[in-house]
Structure 1
């Protein structure tokens, strides 16, 4: 039994040991292949394109069968051959919907297909962006956790030194308590950070499932990654959200055109053949029918007016969305530029100064001219500086993700589902 247990433990741990680090690129690829909302929008687009073909056709003809003028009393009651007016009828009726109206219906279905197609790009952009943000949150929170854990390990070693110095009469009891307080505060900060990591992992699992439990690869180098696509400002009109609103405007235009075409009624033609008794002639009838728009001002014109109002609404929303997008774009660019400047300041000034302060306080403590409290304060400030540097790096990475995962092209939408561009 003792020989079996190690092998059993090894088998249970094998999946974890075999798991390769999850890179940002792999996380995005997994999320794209597991995005059912994109597949749903593809099905919606296909359905709309099929409807566009059907909407452009004439209605099916109507077959009509009947009996006319059958006597119900007298010597010829219920006879189909003795009464001259009795007829067995067969006919066909066809409604001739005008070509402009059928084209308007087909155009509306095509606009719905285009909206579904653009929505696929928007859904893909949202999937990529949200997966990237969740991965970055988890990666940078993990790096901050590693910093804090290394600091706690160092504080424990320092605690042993403080205890030994106090027992030997070379230190103060206040230094022992100060170090214990620093350990407790750091452990509380670590517990809060572990909570944030669990929340970040759950957000990542929303997009990639159980792969979120894998260890993460190191975050990409910011100096090489914090570059905004050069055509970003010029491609604002192609942003999926703005393109979706443009597709909604086109759909509203198609609705308005349909309402305008509905103001003119269509004509239906009916051809009937009536068979009478042996001694009577058979008859043929042709009928024309059409609706009578006797109150067009209160019905058809009102519907047309409502569709025009909805078109105005869609255009106003489009203008507002364009303005909001440009403001968000400028804001993210400002955040990214500011974060770049701050990262340079941290790397060139703040981090070296914090390390120099720790070394100076530690040298003074070893020489007997400084206190352990000063060393702890210097170490705390150095850790806070490194942690803040990571937060600024995360802020820059988030702004970069917001800017660079906005506008997937047509080939990207197809490739996300294994199609050829």
Structure 2
């Protein structure tokens, strides 16, 4: 009996688990949820974090002095005669051990460390750029899926009404109150709606595949939930020069400019040579005195004009290149942002106008044509034509809203939004 109870409990647990999994699979996917999942799945951010850690480690290493060099050897060892290969009988034979250390200037070591710090700044800026790109592309894919589903819903509702009109035309024709042309016209209109519905469903599947690129197939299969405030005026803040200067791509170029400035300072510091100090102890035979040697070596910059000065000139040219690229990118982004804002504002105005005038007029005409047909004072063809215009008006309004929402997303996610914490990754 206990075994039966155990099996029954296991079956109930499995059923509950299956129900919970199915319920989760049907949970709507909001825009913020999609972005959290996309950020958690991104390997770009993992790569940037690893590169930043590498730059930090290299920065510490570059600030250190070079490793000392241990030297050991035998000098003046006889190779022939009665004292050959003797380490103690010839007064010139010495067993030596020494230590050599290069003393790199402190400013050079500081600049080397600073150069890797500049790399770290660039990597952090690239990480912000990647974050903004993930949020923006996820938002665009989510918007595409959201409005594609809205178009499917609209067409399904219109198809239901068209099927009712087909039934009404069949009844009217059977009762000799309608013509065969009206019956065939209503059926053709329903077939056309079915074809448009299939096209819209294909667009939903394509949008789901595009969204799965960012959130995975499981999350992309969940229905989109919620709406976005694509009329939000804060997106216009991206037009300010201060906001433009903080765009992630420009931050990357600014970090490259600072890195080029550090390289110029490094090249200028290299015009001052480093010193190397060496100390050596030499042991001879017991009958002779031991010796100590101390030496200092300094590179002679004989060809400085064609060597060190050329390096400085090259780094200055690279700095000018980095600054020019930054200025050109700033102008390009400023123009792009202003064009996006212009199109976004135009889309909002057009949407408000069409929503206030076109769609209500199309609905009223459709209702008037249907009333006239039901009263026997109007043809079915007028009803079908009015219905087509109403559907076209609704599709036009949805398409314009989607286009405007996409423009809003491109403006809003020029910089990364402070998103909630990413969803934890599932354990394998």
- Normalised to the residue count of structure 2, the TM-score between the two structures is 0.89
Instruction: Choose from 156, 163, 170 the match for 2:163.
Output: 156
Q: Match of 1:339?
A: 347
User: In the alignment, which residue of structure 1 is the partner of 2:203?
Assistant: 196
SS of the equivalent of 2:327 reads: helix
What residue is the counterpart of 2:60 in the other structure? 53
Moved more, 202-211 or 14-23: 14-23
Give me the whole-angstrom Cα distance separating, in 2, the residues matched to 1:290 and 1:155.
94
Name the counterpart of 2:40. 33
Q: Residue by residue, what CA displacement relative to the aligned partner does 1:89-122 show, whole Å, maximum 9, x if unpaired?
A: 0000011112222122111011011111122221
Query: Deviations 1:27-53 (Å, cap 9, x if unpaired)?
Result: 222222232322321222222122112
- Other structure's SS at 2:392 match: helix
Q: Which residue of 2 aligns with 1:16?
A: 22
Any conservation in 1 of the 2:78–2:84 contact (CA below 8 Å)? yes
Deviations 1:113-168 (A, max 9, x none): 11111222211111111111111111111011100111122212212222232333
- 1:243-258 pair list within 5 angstroms: 243-258=251-266
Contact 1:268 1:289 in 2 (8 A): yes
Return the match for 2:246 from 221, 235, 238: 238
Q: Residue 79 of structure 2 aligns with which residue?
A: 72
Would you say how many aligned residue pairs link Structure 1 and Structure 2?
Answer: 411
CA–CA distance in structure 2, aligned partners of residues 397 and 67 of structure 1: 81
Deviation at 1:332, TM superposition (A): 1.8
Q: 1:128 to 1:246 in 2, by over 3 A?
A: same
In structure 2, do the counterparts of structure 1 residues 335 and 146 end up closer, same or farther at CA, with 3 Å as the change threshold? Answer: same
TM-score by length of 1: 0.90
Q: Helix, strand or coil for the counterpart of 1:169? A: coil
Please report how far the alpha carbon of residue 390 of structure 1 lies from its aligned counterpart in structure 2 after TM superposition: 1.0
- Deviation per CA, 1:243-292: give whole Å up to 9, x if none: 11101111122222222323333221111111011111111112222333
Instruction: Verify: 1:119 aligned to 2:126, yes or no.
Output: yes
Runs of 4+ in 1 over 6 A off after TM superposition: 7-11
| Contact 2:276–2:297 (CA under 8 A) maintained in structure 1 | yes
The alignment's C-alpha RMSD in Å is: 2.6
Is the CA contact (8 Å cut-off) linking 1:252 and 1:307 kept in structure 2?
yes
Give the alignment of 1:136-215 within 5 angstroms: 136-209=143-216, 210-215=218-223
User: Could you tell me how far 1:11 is from its partner in structure 2?
Assistant: 7.0
CA distance in 2, matches of 1:263, 1:343: 65
Task: Tell me how far 1:199 sits from its aligned partner.
Answer: 2.1
Which residue is 1:348 aligned to? Answer: 356
More deviation, 387-396/58-67? 387-396
Find 1:110's aligned residue among 110, 117, 140: 117
Q: Check whether the contact 1:226–1:400 (CA below 8 A) recurs between aligned residues.
A: no
Contact 2:94-2:283 at 8 Å conserved across structures: yes
- Distance in 2 between residues matched to 1:12 and 1:295, nearest whole Å: 79
- Partners in 2 of 1:417 and 1:170 — Cα distance? 62
Greater alpha carbon shift after TM alignment, 124-133 vs 303-312: 303-312
Inter-partner Cα distance in structure 1 for 2:423 and 2:316: 38
**Matches of 2:286 and 2:369, distance apart in 1:** 125
Correspondence 1:318 to 2:336:
no
CA distance in 2 between counterparts of 1:65 and 1:417 reads 60
The 3 A distance-change label for structure 1 pair 50 and 199 is same
Contact 2:58 2:113 in 1 (8 A): yes
